[in-house]
Every structure is written in structure tokens, then in C-alpha cells.
Amino acid sequence: MAILQLTIQPGGYNDDSLCLESGLASKAQSGAIYLRGLVTVLSGDHKNKKFTIPIGISISKSDYWQNKGRELIRSILNSSQGLSTTDNSRKAVFGRIVDSYKVLDGIAFVGVVGIKKGRLGRDENTIVRVLSGDDEDYKDWVDRKIFVPAQKFPPPSKPSSAVWLRA
């Protein structure tokens, strides 16, 4: 378990329909659109080590890669803010809203780093699991002030006005 920081390496691809701007995304020869993430380990035994991860945004062949990318982004947002995966409160929902993928650039979160076999059969570092506010280890790190979750507050809600029935 370690504190990780994600940096997005711009790939020069824009797509307004996918909310991709500033050349943040990359487009593979297969047509897959993804973010090139550079993960830096900020704590633990492997402090200052770095590795890359692709975060799938869109692909025409299958929804699997795109859904894995969404799942990873949601997990990172939950971890960075100390949100529970089951929390659907107004604050939690607002905390998961991404107006631009730029919010992921520089975000810190808690995760478990491991090794997996890559496409070419070589060992690659990867994020095995991202911890959220549900995990006991995460709660312990927050209690001991090893990791301090970011705070994102929703705008104040407008009071609802009375609805009058007409006879």
C-alpha cells in the first residue's frame, strides 16, 4: 500500500464529444482513445519510482476497456477524497463529477502496486487496487494523518419553493 500520484502525459488528441481537450488524450492505431497515465509512488518502499498505465476512454470494438477506464477513474476520485464506494450523498456524487480530465493530472490517492504480465509477456508494474474510504487500512492512514483526503464541496442547494395546486 502506498500513496500514488497520477500525472497525465498529453498525447495530442482532442475530441469535444468525449470532453477531451488540450491534447490530453492519445489515439492508438487500433482507434482506441486513452489517457497515458504516469504514476509516481510518493510513499513506502518504492518511493519516487514511476510507471505508466493506460486509462481507456473509448474504443469502438468493445466496451470492456472503456468500462475498466471509468472504473479506475471513479476509484481514484473516491480514494483522493476519502469517499465510500457506496456513498451516493450529494457531496459524494459532486466529488465524482469530472468536467475535464485535467482534474486527474496531479491527483494523489492510496493504492496497491503490483506486477502483471503485459501484452508482450513482460512483467509490468500496475495498480492492483485503489483503496477508498471503505477500507480499514485507508481509514487507519487517514486517522494517523499519513494521507489527508482532498475536499470538494458542492455548491449550496437552492431551497425549493412551494408548489400550489390549482382547483
Locus of grid cell 473516491? 78
The pLDDT value recorded for residue 22 is: 85
Residue 85's pLDDT is what?
93
- On whether residue 152 sits in a domain, the answer given is no
Percentage, residues of the chain above pLDDT 70: 93
Instruction: Tell me the average pLDDT across 20-42.
Output: 92
Q: Does 26 map to a domain?
A: yes
Identify whether 163 is part of a domain.
no
**Strand, helix or coil for residue 138:** helix
Average pLDDT, the chain: 89
Counting the structural domains of the chain, the total is: 1
- Exposure on the CB side of residue 84, measured as CA atoms within 13 A: 7
Mean pLDDT of 35-46: 94
Q: Are 29 and 10 in contact (CB under 8 A)?
A: no
Helices and strands (DSSP H and E) totals, the chain:
3, 7
Residue 10 domain-assigned (yes or no): yes
Q: Is the pLDDT of residue 167 over 70?
A: no
Q: What is the pLDDT of residues 96-143, one digit of tens each?
A: 988 889 999 999 999 999 999 887 889 999 999 999 999 999 999 999
pLDDT of residue 160: 63
- Residue 162 lies inside a defined structural domain of this protein: no
In a domain, residue 157? The reply is: no
Instruction: Report the C-alpha gap between 27 and 46 in whole angstroms.
Output: 31
**Structural domain of residue 109, as residue ranges?**
2-143
Percentage of the residues of the chain whose pLDDT score is greater than 90: 65
pLDDT digits (tens, 9 = 90+) for 3-29: 999 999 999 998 888 888 888 999 998
Is residue 164, in this structure, part of any structural domain at all?
Answer: no
What is the value of pTM for the model shown?
Answer: 0.87
